[in-house]
Amino acid sequence: MKPESTRTQIDQIIDEAKAYNFKSVCVNPTHVKYAAERLADSEVLVCTVIGFPLGASTTATKAFETEDAIQNGADEIDMVINIGALKDGRFDDVQQDIEAVVKAAKGHTVKVIIETVLLDHDEIVKASELTKTAGADFVKTSTGFAGGGATAEDVKLMKDTVGADVEVKASGGVRNLEDFNKMVEAGATRIGASAG
């Protein structure tokens, strides 16, 4: 997800994903078509990011990015919420933002990144509730760009909030088997890691 990612690096993560049966490979939108072509003969899904990493794009921009990504071969969408709107208490704006991406994804999996490191307890709960209400498939902890990352406490809070209807992805700071196990025990069904 780094801005300096090259095709050589994309090839490396694709090869690792195939070798270790990862669920998906997450690439920047500019690499979606290439990744989709490389993964066409495998079960590994192509994921991309929308409004990344700040979440500060307009709703229309996020919807367009989503449509473009799907057209280029993305199987999954990871969108970043409008964090400022959440902190302002403009919950309708946040929900409409998520709903627009869910609609543009046309049935493809949507994961909503709420950037837990920037939120307090109540904001994590509210963002998780809005994710569920808007019809997304996952609520996700972090982009990995804001420092910190997933904590087992945040994952548990998110899972307790969304219940069985929405899955939780722990991403950022999961570097070893011990971290992985903590996240799964807390309720994560998917783990995002830059180190396979």
- Among candidate residues 78, 97, 154, 179, the one labeled active-site is 78
Structure tokens at 84: 């400022």
The phi-psi region of residue 169 (left if phi > 0; otherwise alpha if psi is between -120 and 50; otherwise beta) is beta
Residue whose C-alpha is closest to residue 109's, from 79, 76, 139, 80: 76
DSSP line for 122-163? HHHHHHHHHHHHTT-SEEE---SSSSS---HHHHHHHHHHHG
- Among candidate residues 62, 126, 140, 182, the one labeled active-site is 140
Cβ-based neighbours of 136, under 8 Å, separated by 6 or more: 98, 101, 102, 110, 111, 112, 166
Q: At what angle do helices 91-105 and 59-71 cross, to 10 degrees?
A: 20
Q: Is 182 a catalytic residue?
A: no
Q: Is 87 a catalytic residue?
A: no
Q: At what angle do helices 121-133 and 91-105 cross, to 10 degrees?
A: 40
- Among candidate residues 159, 169, 179, 182, the one labeled active-site is 169
Q: Rg for the chain (alpha carbons), in Å? A: 16
Q: Is 18 a catalytic residue?
A: no
Active-site residue numbers? 78, 140, 169
